[in-house]
Structure 1
Amino acid sequence: MPFARLASVTTPTSHIGLGLAAVGRPGYINLGREHDLGDDRTVEALRARTHELLDAAYAQGVRYFDVARSYGRSEEFLAGWLSARPDIADVVVGSKWGYTYTAGWSTEAAQHEVKDHSLATYERQRAETDALLGDRLDLYQIHSVTPDSPALTDKELHGRLAEAAASGLTVGFSTSGPAQADAIRAALEVTVDGEPLFRTVQSTYNALETSAGPALAEAHDAGLTVIVKEGMANGRLAAPHAPDVLKAVAEETSLGCDAVALALVLCRPWAGVVLSGAATVTQLASNLHAAVVDLDDDQLTRLATLVEDPRAYWERRGGLPWH
């Protein structure tokens, strides 16, 4: 598995990855984007910002970078950064297929992305990803699997994914929604010729939404690498939006709410890679402090009071505006 390369990285931040959802397109649902990005969101402006973030992340020990077909031009931006640095061979690149970006580089689009887990979409988007990332792609994930996703039952698709795995590509899936645990357990049952198909799972887990935790532990025990996304709950756990309990714990650690929120995820024994979704170099530096946060039992108990009902959490997330 390509994630074995992470084991050779000795920096404390080797298990923190950088996701480019927030900077690969002008519109996203994260809180505070008007402050983080300002008004200049041209392709060139976000390309430059992305490259600046990638430079800073790599310099500080980050070795996993996460993109997707639906993250605007994130694959293009990452591919350009890698092409300009041919000596960098120790990073792991993951992308996702299953959503098509439809916003046309606008924050005002009626629909920003369209979901389709069909074989035809896989073949089209795999070709698009290959054209940009080529042999730099290590991991290809089905984007946002839910229990009713046809990707869980489409045997022809499974066969094509198994062919990709046989050629050296790691095959994984991500999940979203209040039934993440059900989707994870269903995906663990998918096999081709008696062998498990998926080698990684990427799921939402944070101080507010912990429902996938037991299933992620099962996936880890089954040998999958667990990648955690949305550890900041789309900005809800960052100052100034953070709950008072999180602010209090952060003050005790003398670090930011974001570092504490990500540290809470990093301390889970099943968490292999935890993604930062930073939109600025300053945010990234603060996020990376999570690697040195040591939460005690009392702090963990207090943070546990923040957990929300998953249906309420996802309903609120679904209502966040694209801006």
Structure 2
Amino acid sequence: MPFARLASATTPTCHLGLGLAAVGRPGYINLGRDQDLGTDRGVDALRARTHELLDAAYAQGVRYFDVARSYGRSEEFLAGWLKARSDVDDIVVGSKWGYTYTADWTTDAERHEVKDHSLRTYERQRAETAELLGDRLDLYQIHSVTPDSPALTDKELHARLAEAAAEGLTVGFSTSGPAQADAIRAALAVAVDGEPLFRTVQSTYNVLETSAGPALAEAHDAGLTVIVKEGMANGRLAGPHAPDALKAMAADTGLGSDAVALALVLRQPWAGVVLSGAATTAQLASNLHAAVVDLDEDRLDRLAALVEDPHAYWDRRGSLPWH
């Protein structure tokens, strides 16, 4: 399994990965985006920013990189970096299928992405990903599975995914929404010829949204590698947007609110890889300090008081503007 390479990493950041959702396209829902990216969001500018982030992440010990078909040109940007860094052979690359990017490189599109978990979409997007990433792709995940997703019951799709797994590709899924735990448990039951289909799960878990925790622990116990996304709650736990209690705790540690927030996720015994969604190298450096944050029982209690009802959390996330 490709993730075995992460277990042999010698840096303290081996369990932190870099996701390219925020820099693979000009529009996204992260707070503070105007300050992070400025006005030049052309393809060349974001390609250069992505490559700078990848260089910085690799230099600081990050070995997992996360993209998706719907993240604009993220796969293309990563593929270009990999081609230029042909000496890099110790990383793990994950991508996702199931959403199609439809914003045409704008920030004000009526729809930025369209979800479709059909076999037809899998076959189309698998070919698109293969054209860009080729044999550098280690992990391919179904993007944002919910309990009602047809991807959980489509036997023909399961058979095709099992074929890909037999050829050496790790097959996984990601989740979104207030019923993540239900989606995780339903996916754990999916099997082909008596063998579990999925080897990884990628879910949202952060200071504000912890509802998937018990199900992620079950997935870990079942042998899946757990990847955590949105540890910064789309910017709600960073800088000026962070709750006052988190800011105060960060001041006590001498580190950023982002580092404290990500430290909570790293502390979970089931968390295999925790993604940074940094848009700048300064943000990335601050995120990586999460590995040295000390969370004692008092701090853990103070963070637990910030947890929101999952429905309220996802309603808030759904209202964040693309900008």
Q: What TM-score, normalized by structure 1, do the two folds share?
A: 1.00
> Hey, what does 1:240 align to over in structure 2?
240
> Following TM superposition, by how much is the alpha carbon of 1:24 offset from its aligned partner in structure 2, in angstroms?
0.0
Cα distance in 2 between the residues matched to 1:162 and 1:60: 35
Aligned to 1:141: 141
Deviation at 1:8, TM superposition (A): 1.4
Hey, what does 1:168 align to over in structure 2?
Answer: 168
Q: Aligned-pair distance for 1:36?
A: 0.2
Aligned to 1:282: 282
1:70-93: per-residue Cα shift (whole Å, max 9, x none)? 000000000000001111000000
SS at match of 1:240: helix
Query: 1:134-184 CA deviation, whole Å, 9 max, x = no partner?
Result: 000000000000000000000000000000000000000000000000000
How far the C-alpha of 1:249 sits from its partner, in A, is 1.0
The separation in 2 between residues aligned to 1:178 and 1:2, in whole angstroms, is 30
Q: Deviations over 1:22-69 (max 9, x none)?
A: 000000000000000000000000000000000000000000000000
Separation (CA, whole Å) in 2 of partners of 1:117 and 1:170: 18
**What does 1:251-290 correspond to in 2, within 5 Å?**
251-290=251-290
AA matched with 2:274: V
Q: Which residue of 2 aligns with 1:74?
A: 74
Question: Which residue identity lines up with residue 172 of structure 2 in the other structure?
Answer: G
Q: Which 4+ residue blocks in structure 1 deviate beyond 6 angstroms?
A: none
Q: Which residue of 2 aligns with 1:132?
A: 132
Q: How does 1:213-252 map to 2 (within 5 A)?
A: 213-252=213-252
Deviation at 1:7, TM superposition (A): 1.2
Counterpart AA for 1:31: L
1:296 Cα deviation after fit: 0.3
Could you tell me how far apart the structure 1 residues matched to 2:147 and 2:241 are? Answer: 31
User: Between Structure 1 and Structure 2, how many residues are aligned?
Assistant: 323
In structure 2, what is the Cα distance between the partners aligned to 1:228 and 1:7?
16
Helix, strand or coil at the partner of 1:26? coil
Q: Determine the C-alpha separation between the residues in 2 that align with 1:293 and 1:272.
A: 18
- Quick one: distance in 1 between partners of 2:268 and 2:293? 13
Question: Could you say what secondary structure the match of 2:132 adopts?
Answer: helix
For structure 1, the residue ranges without an aligned partner over 5 or more in a row are none
Q: How far apart are the structure 2 equivalents of 1:253 and 1:216?
A: 28
Q: How far has the Cα of 1:263 moved from its partner?
A: 0.3
* SS of equivalent to 2:311: helix
Deviation at 1:248, TM superposition (A): 1.2
Q: Root-mean-square deviation (CA), in Å?
A: 0.3
CA deviation after TM superposition for structure 1 residue 320, in Å = 0.2
Q: CA deviation at 1:256?
A: 0.2
Indicate the percent of aligned positions where both proteins have the same amino acid: 86
Summarize the alignment of residues 94-105 of structure 1 with structure 2, pairs less than 5 Å apart: 94-105=94-105
For 1:246 and 1:179, the matched residues in 2 are separated by: 26
Q: CA deviation at 1:104?
A: 0.1
Distance in 2 separating the partners of 1:10 and 1:294: 20
What is the CA–CA distance in structure 2 between the aligned matches of 1:229 and 1:152, rounded to whole Å?
21
